[in-house]
Amino acid sequence: DIQMTQSPSSLPASLGDRVTITCRASQDIGNYLRWFQQKPGKSPRLMIYGATNLAAGVPSRFSGSRSGSDYSLTINSLESEDMAIYYCLQHNEYPLTFGSGTKLEIK
Amino acid sequence: EVQLQQSGAELGKPGTSVKLSCKVSGYNIRNTYMHWVNQRPGKGLEWIGRIDPANGNTIYAEKFKSKATLTADTSSNTAYMQLSQLKSDDTAIYFCAMMGYGYFDYWGQGVMVTVSS
């Protein structure tokens, strides 16, 4: 199975900060990488697909990038509504595997 | 508008089974895969498996092969997941989701399954 190593697990940040979350894939997954945002009591919401593409309706302060086997989600100018848990998901091969999640919280 | 409506919360006794449903409106499930994902209390997301409703083909994560059974009824546009031999460790929220090409991505609201005697 492909392991997705996500870091950090917790990320205290201030409003207006620029933050980056990273997932490292244990095998090649191409650009078959999605980022989800999950708020308490809610279903996951797709933020980024194809590693770098913004999903419909997602604010432009979110962006995705790739460097080799490292995939990153960056949020510029953090807003209060961005406080949530973020997960990466590889869907290059079965079984699909999620990262362990990053809890973004106000410092 | 595409919507996935999951059945209500379930309380199951250890050793029994529950069957969850996910009814889709606004999209023909024959045209996508239906995935199931769980989330144990306070934990992360875990992929269980997926079904191709067009032909019934299924793929499961190894740990769920003897736990979950995925089916689909294209006439009612509904997907199902049966969880068998319930244990306390199966207590979780279960989501159905359609994840396709590009940003095609729709999730049900999730259903809480509690295993308790």
Tens digit of each residue's pLDDT (9 = 90 or more) over B7-30: 999 999 999 999 999 999 999 999
Q: Which residue of B has its CA nearest to A35?
A: B103
pLDDT tens-digit series, residues B78-117: 999 999 999 999 999 999 999 988 888 999 999 999 999 9
Burial of residue B18 (number of CB atoms within 10 Å: 0-12, 13-18, 19+): buried
**pLDDT tens, position by position, A68-103:** 999 999 999 999 999 999 999 999 999 999 999 999
Contact between residue A46 and residue B111 where contact means Cβ atoms under 8 Å apart: no
Distance from CA of A46 to the nearest CA of B (A): 7
CA distances from B39 to A34, A52, A85, B106 (A): 18, 26, 13, 17
User: What local confidence, expressed as pLDDT, does residue B102 receive?
Assistant: 83
- How many other C-beta atoms lie within 10 A of the C-beta of residue B66? 10
pLDDT for the residue numbered B96: 98
Nearest CA in chain A to B43: A100
Contacts across the A-B interface (CB distance below 8 Å): 53
Cα separations in angstroms, B95 against A55, B9, B21, B30, B75: 20, 12, 10, 19, 21
- How sure is the predictor about A15, in pLDDT bands with cuts at 50, 70 and 90? very high
The mean pLDDT value for A20-33 works out to 98
- Average pLDDT of chain A, as a whole number: 97
Q: What is the DSSP letter of B103?
A: T
Question: What average pLDDT does range B49-76 have in this prediction?
Answer: 98
Q: How far apart (Å, rounded) are the C-alpha atoms in residues B50 and A92?
A: 14
Contact yes or no for A43 and B61 at CB 8 A: no
> What pLDDT is recorded for position B101?
82
Residues of B in contact with A36 (CB under 8 A): 45
